[in-house]
Structure 1
Amino acid sequence: MQESKPIMFVGTCSDAGKSVINTGVCRILKQDGYTPAPFKAQNMSLNSYATPEGYEIGRAQATQAEACGIACHTDMNPVLLKPSGEMMSQVILNGKPIGNRSAYEYFRKDDNAKLFDEATLAFERLSNRYSPIVMEGAGSISELNLKKRDIVNMRMAKRVGADVYLVADIDKGGVFGSVYGSIMLLDEDERQLIKGIIINKFRGDVRLFDEGRKIIEDLTGIPVIGVVPYFKDIYIEDEDSVVLDSRNGEAKEGKVNVAIIKLPQMSNFTDFNALQFDNRVNVYYTTVLSQIEKADIVILPGSKSTINDLEFIQSKGIPSLLKEMYQQGKTVIGICGGYQMMGEKITDPKQIEGTTEVIDGIGLLPMETIITEEKKTVQQQFKFRDGDEVCEGYEIHMGKSESLTDVTPLVKTLDGHDDGIYRDERCWGSYMHGILDNVSVINHLLSPYVDEESSEFSYSSFKNTEYDKLAQHLRQHINIKAIYESASCSKK
């Protein structure tokens, strides 16, 4: 039985910072002795994660669960949309694919009544185990043309009686219009749910916004419960691949340069977050041949549409460059979809990904892949190469790869199966997302280019520390007591 009202963060726009605020409040609640859990009825992202039970959810809710100190579960994100092109998305319901829909089909068919009911059931199951539930909206709360069919913003808030807090990104400009307009476009019963406003990403002395705070409160009749300064010194995993636009970069002297091919349908770009914290390395994303050529190591990442992305890099002449670089002694590796691309051929006889049924791969690994309807989703523990260290990762992929010759597997999972192909220290691939979160794997990858191994770095411990830093930052700038009092929080 739920003992406090759900707390929900919604936005005036996309990328207002809802996910980060949600994550920080989840950690604050945990620190204060509550048993919180995150919830987002519907997420749209190519960045997903495998639950312990072997199902799929959005990475943001997995991150928020981590901040709560609990295992992630599909009830935290019952509906996940994975874009597979300009107008189509794979629909994941309760962790499993149920088919592809166009945007028009998704938003028109029966006002999403079935998915809304499924999301409500997931919320109810979650609220029987945790309290309070910390909910997250999506995009803007006032998209009037989508509102009737929306299952993630105010429609969900009304159904579960959440206390709602509107997050506005002042860094984008127009904060007064976006806050006032977002609230005034709501129905009266929806406005009653808005308990506070948070001005996010403020640059400079927050006292300079004291007058602005009063203006907003006078206009809306709703208190501004926080003005949160912009920060760059706290690391929280990003959900949206739009952040990669700021990581284009280029090769640097004195570093091991790692170029990640920026695929149009790149998935799970968080695979490379730990690598970015290695001070021996310079990581950048690119499809420019001259920048790829300057790299010591090139990584082909995961993809939601492997064949389409392979056609894309073929059109740019990237495969022939990668083969040439490997012959010159540089390193080329692939993860998941990138691993599939490194083989001799990919076939899609049922046209699951599109109209192309057969395509030649890059030809760096002796294998062929067939795209299958069945999706494998599983967390894994494994040993890398001949090492003794138990590493962790996860698999999320559609397709099976078969070697054409006797090969050396890259990893052996603790449940007894081999994964990947190890051609040599400069050429290998694997289905294992998160493989580069493990220090021993990073050290192996960099070994041809550095003399010393890195000292032990725990990515999970690092993230845990950052959650605490985020919590402290939000405590300083948001009236957490007001949130508690409105939600009538009581500890289990």
Structure 2
Amino acid sequence: MKRYLNPIMFVGTCSDAGKSVINTAFCRIFRQDGYHPAPFKAQNMSLNSYSTIEGGEMGRAQVVQAEACGIEPHTDMNPVLLKPTNDKSSQVVLNGKPVGNMSAKDYFGIKNQKEELFKEAINAFKRLETRYNPIVLEGAGSISELNLRDRDITNMRMASQAGASTYLVADIDKGGVFGSVYGTIALLKPEEKALMRGIIINKFRGDASLFEEGRQLLKELTGIPVVGVIPWFHDIKIEEEDSVALDVKNNTYRDGKINVAIILLKRMSNFTDFDVLEMDTRFNPYYTNNLDEIEKADIILLPGSKNTLADLQHLRANGIANAIIRAHKTGKKVIGICGGYQMMGIRLEDPEGIEGSLPVIPGLGLLPQCTVIEQEKITKQSSFTFLPDTSDSLQTCRGYEIHMGRTTLLNDAPNQPVVLLEDGRQDGYYLNNKCWGSYMHGILDNPAVLDNLADGFDKKTENKSFDYTAFKEEQYDKLAALIRQNVDMKYIYSTL
């Protein structure tokens, strides 16, 4: 039997330092080494979320890490999730269930409330500890935000509570790595610094041996060893947590591929729905709100949104809505998922002002339906059959729902569902092969749906199904191998 390991935690000098990816790597490494690990992040702020088997909602970063561990995601891995609804407020999801919307001022300003959330996070961590070992914790943003230190429930307070061996991740590609590492360590309290076991330099370009002097200087400056220098890599595909990742994704048309324009929304949610298209060689996906790029595309995808009415109004104001309608009329494929599916109807209504001040807005008019935003939030993971009324051979697919809204057909439209769920419910509307929508997140991860998406295009691409699940498993193993090669694993195990 494997020995018990203390928790390990990865924190950062800044946002997007690579904590999530390194955390994912260690989840896979511990699994490979015969342990039964689980990820944990006390508080996540993201519009990329997921429905668990139990019907709870959690951040997708911990879902990816759970996959690397080979275990089923659970909301205990991410007990507090903040989903921004506009520039000043977020929906608060606690232990998988929404508990209301709060402004940033209220969320960070009411100390008693944050203490209650911290207690919930600690309880979730303790529940995980009874089932898994080791727990692989992740911090959020920078650990040196002094103005938020007393209200922190994610970073060093959580590290202290868990007794975690803590490693600081620094992004050298941003520049100023010596200042950011030294400053971050210098601003820690003595008891927080005592938890620090090592520094990991991430996103290094070039020959890592050139940083040997840098290792020594950082050790002399901070008293903490540099235990790894991780090279910048492009050939390992791990799902990104933050929307900042969209800035470096492809954003233009390419000849010889099935070009897929994914509409950039201000409050876009679950952009990870489209990650599979980047891996399937038949497609060239790009995120855009450029009218020329939209009109050149073979397929237009409308993603989910945390504020569907406001995002649709924005599409109308900048001409994108008309571009989508024109594309549909000229025979381009237009497909919507979740909020994008809602936008494709005749109209959207928000009579209770749940999303904002817009009570009603015309839809794109592509599907014969109306959506009413409602208080109840559906979070459900399901198996389903795709196009049950049109397919000769039905394949079992998987996906999940996260939405607030009830969609009904108008004008005696025929019932033409996109999917038939295992519980007997129907979802989505299939106008034809070039126009359909569904609430089902993750629908494109299924080979049958990808093949349908590629159907009808005479492109010089490989005509074979793509197994995304097998692909992701390969990527987790490749990532683990890269980290093993560039991190002192013997030292890390000695600290656990």
- TM-score bracket for this pair, using the shorter chain length: over 0.9
Equivalent residue pairs, number: 486
Corresponding residue to 1:472 among 476, 481, 489? 481
1:112-131 CA-partner distances (Å, limit 9, x unpaired): 10000000000000001001
Using the TM superposition, give the Cα deviation of residue 347 of structure 1 relative to its aligned residue in structure 2, in angstroms: 0.7
1:247-281 CA-partner distances (Å, limit 9, x unpaired): 25222222211101000111111111112222222
1:41-77 CA-partner distances (Å, limit 9, x unpaired): 0000000111111111000000000000000000000
SS of the residue corresponding to residue 224 of structure 2 reads coil
2:60 equivalent to 1:59: yes
Task: Report the Cα distance in structure 2 between the residues aligned to 1:191 and 1:277, rounded to whole angstroms.
Answer: 41
Specify the alignment match of 2:494 in structure 1.
485
Specify the alignment match of 2:408 in structure 1.
402
Specify the alignment match of 1:201 in structure 2.
203
Q: Is the 8 A contact 2:230 2:486 kept in 1?
A: yes
2:224 equivalent to 1:222: yes
Corresponding residue to 1:212 among 211, 214, 236? 214
Specify the alignment match of 1:419 in structure 2.
427
SS of the residue corresponding to residue 374 of structure 1 reads coil
Superposition TM-score, scaled by structure 1 size? 0.97
261-270 or 445-454: bigger deviation: 445-454
2:456 equivalent to 1:455: no
Specify the alignment match of 1:434 in structure 2.
442
SS of the residue corresponding to residue 8 of structure 1 reads strand
Corresponding residue to 2:280 among 269, 278, 281? 278
Q: Is the 8 A contact 2:450 2:465 kept in 1?
A: no
Using the TM superposition, give the Cα deviation of residue 292 of structure 1 relative to its aligned residue in structure 2, in angstroms: 0.6
Task: Report the Cα distance in structure 1 between the residues aligned to 2:40 and 2:449, rounded to whole angstroms.
Answer: 33
Task: Report the Cα distance in structure 1 between the residues aligned to 2:230 and 2:322, rounded to whole angstroms.
Answer: 48
Corresponding residue to 1:389 among 386, 395, 406? 395
Specify the alignment match of 1:26 in structure 2.
27
Specify the alignment match of 2:254 in structure 1.
252
Task: Report the Cα distance in structure 2 between the residues aligned to 1:450 and 1:264, rounded to whole angstroms.
Answer: 33
SS of the residue corresponding to residue 283 of structure 1 reads strand
Question: What is the one-letter code of the residue matched to 1:469?
Answer: K
1:459-490 CA-partner distances (Å, limit 9, x unpaired): 01110111011111000111112121111xxx
Specify the alignment match of 2:161 in structure 1.
159
Question: What is the one-letter code of the residue matched to 1:62?
Answer: V
SS of the residue corresponding to residue 11 of structure 2 reads strand
Task: Report the Cα distance in structure 2 between the residues aligned to 1:205 and 1:251, rounded to whole angstroms.
Answer: 34
Specify the alignment match of 2:317 in structure 1.
315
Superposition TM-score, scaled by structure 2 size? 0.96
Question: What is the one-letter code of the residue matched to 2:374?
Answer: T
Q: Is the 8 A contact 1:407 1:423 kept in 2?
A: no
Task: Report the Cα distance in structure 2 between the residues aligned to 1:453 and 1:343, rounded to whole angstroms.
Answer: 34
Percent identity of the aligned residues? 59
Specify the alignment match of 1:344 in structure 2.
346
Specify the alignment match of 2:76 in structure 1.
75
Specify the alignment match of 2:175 in structure 1.
173
Structure 2 residues not aligned, in runs of 5+: none
Specify the alignment match of 1:490 in structure 2.
none
2:11 equivalent to 1:4: no
Q: CA RMSD in A?
A: 1.2
Q: Is the 8 A contact 1:335 1:432 kept in 2?
A: yes
2:474 equivalent to 1:446: no
2:380 equivalent to 1:378: yes
